[in-house]
Every structure is written in C-alpha cells, then in structure tokens.
C-alpha cells in the first residue's frame, strides 16, 4: 500500500531541493546570524564548517537534512561560503566521506535548533491528527501526506523517510475507514443489515448485483427510463435506512463515503468452463 502512494507522489520534491532557493528564501533560511556563526566557527576545518552550515540551513529550510550535502544548489553553497569568509566552494567530498562527522553534526544541529526525531509520542500524535482530518472531510492520500509533512515541520520534527510517512498515511486511512464502517454497521437493525447484504449477492446466471443495478444511470431520458428510475428509488426507500442518524458524521465525510460507494463493485463470479 505505501508503495502505491509513493508512486503517485513527486518524490523529487520531498526533503530535497527542487531548485535554487529564491533571494527571499536565502535571506530568511540561509542567513547566518551571530549564534549560527559561533556554532559553525567552532569547527576546525573549512569543509566541516561549510558542510555543517549546509545541514543546518537545509533543516531550517525544508525540515530535513540533505541526503548528500554535495547535492545542494551551487547558489546555496556560494551564499553560505561568503558568510563564512571561505573561498568559492568547489565540492564537499571530504565532508561527505565522513558519515560519523555528518551524524555528530546533525545531533548538534537538532539540539541547537530545537528539532527532534520522529519519536513514538510524535508518531501517535501525528496519526491521531491525521485520523481527525479524515473524519472531518475527504482528503486524498497525497494531500494528507503533504499536510502531515507541513505539520511535522511546524512542530520541528525532522522529516522521516518518505516510505515511513507513506506507511503511516496508509495505516491511518485503513483504520479510519474500518472504524467508520463499523460505527455505521452498529446502527443498523438485523433486518436492515440483511437487506443491505442481499444487495451485494450476484444472482445465479447474472453478472451484476442488485446494488450495481440500482446504481445504473438512465441511458436516455425517456418515459421508460423515468419509470425505471422511480422503481430504483422505491427499491432504495424500502431498505429502511434513510432515517439513520448521521449527524455526528460531517457532510463532507458523508459525501466522500457516497462517492467511494459509487466506485465499488460486488464480486462477479466467472462462468465455469466446460
């Protein structure tokens, strides 16, 4: 399931530079103040100072550390190098080849900026928040993924891997759907439940369930089609579910459920081969 969501996402925009930041973004997120310079100038080597500056400002800009400090736009490197009084940067190979240094700097930067990793508590808080969003209205998975990303950035949580966040989105979606359907099912009487279940049974020799037939739109606006539509309306009314209390479910959520119901089909048995 998460892989399906990931295939629909522009992953080149998640936790990565899409282009060189604008002058306004450079001024806001990549400007090194006195405290920043004090932290960075405490590094002994130039490449460590520049590399740590890249990590610090990238976290401040997009909520995550760069996968490869060497892959940031040249404009960012030049902007930071000027503030650190360093010559125009050629590369950060020496810095990128020392994973232990990168990791140590990331711990220092998280403490300095007040960021934290995605802890169990933050995971639970995020999932509960996503659950509420899904209950309030219809949000597709990609939109929910984007909203969750922004929430983590706002709460100063370092963005996890895309697959981790996609897994959380999928899990919450499944749990929300299950709980909503369970809540609706408990409101049905035994007779109502039997009538609804009967709509899903494909009669012998047929390829459509009664529900599929009820959902068919008229082929043309003729008298015959009008009568057929009235018959479908009467069949729906006799189900006896029109008076169920759905006041605790938002109108947007009810609309989303109805739209989802229009896309689902009962299983169609394949004819046996002779």
Q: In terms of pLDDT, which residue wins out, 171 or 183? A: 171
pLDDT in tens, 195-218: 777 777 888 877 788 777 777 777
**Average pLDDT in the chain:** 83
Would you place residue 1 in the very low, low, confident or very high pLDDT band (cuts 50, 70, 90)?
Answer: very low
CB 195 within 8 A of CB 214: no
What angle is formed at CA 67 by the lines to CA 40 and CA 161, rounded to 5 degrees?
Answer: 120
Q: What is the largest CA-CA distance in the chain?
A: 87
CB 114 within 8 A of CB 156: yes
In the predicted structure, residue 33 carries a pLDDT above the cut 50: yes
The reported pLDDT for the residue numbered 182 is: 82
Q: Exposed, middle or buried: residue 193 (CB in 10 Å: 0-12, 13-18, 19+)?
A: middle
The mean pLDDT value for 238-262 works out to 72
pLDDT in tens, 80-110: 999 999 886 766 888 888 889 999 999 999 9
């Amino acid at each position: 399931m998460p892989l399906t969501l990931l295939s629909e996402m522009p992953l080149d925009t998640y936790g990565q530079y899409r282009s060189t930041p604008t002058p306004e973004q450079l001024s806001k997120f990549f400007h090194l103040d006195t405290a920043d310079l004090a932290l960075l100038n405490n590094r002994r080597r130039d490449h460590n100072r520049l590399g740590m500056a890249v990590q610090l400002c990238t976290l401040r800009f997009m909520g995550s550390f760069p996968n490869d400090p060497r892959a940031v736009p040249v404009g960012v490197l030049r902007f930071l190098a000027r503030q650190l009084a360093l010559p125009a940067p050629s590369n950060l190979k020496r810095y990128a080849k020392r994973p232990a240094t990168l990791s140590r700097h990331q711990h220092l930067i998280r403490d300095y900026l007040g960021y934290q990793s995605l802890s169990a508590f933050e995971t639970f808080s995020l999932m509960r928040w996503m659950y509420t969003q899904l209950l309030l209205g219809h949000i597709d998975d990609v939109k929910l993924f984007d909203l969750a990303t922004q929430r983590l950035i706002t709460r100063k949580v370092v963005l996890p891997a895309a697959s981790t966040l996609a897994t959380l989105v999928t899990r919450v979606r499944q749990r929300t759907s299950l709980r909503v359907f369970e809540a609706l099912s408990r409101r049905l009487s035994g007779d109502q439940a039997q009538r609804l279940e009967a709509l899903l049974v494909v009669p012998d020799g047929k390829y459509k369930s009664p529900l599929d037939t009820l959902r068919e739109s008229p082929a043309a606006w003729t008298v015959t089609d009008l009568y057929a539509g009235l018959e479908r309306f009467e069949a729906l009314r006799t189900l006896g579910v029109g008076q169920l209390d759905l006041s605790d479910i938002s109108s947007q959520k009810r609309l989303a459920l109805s739209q989802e119901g229009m896309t689902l089909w009962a299983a169609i048995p394949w004819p046996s081969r002779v």
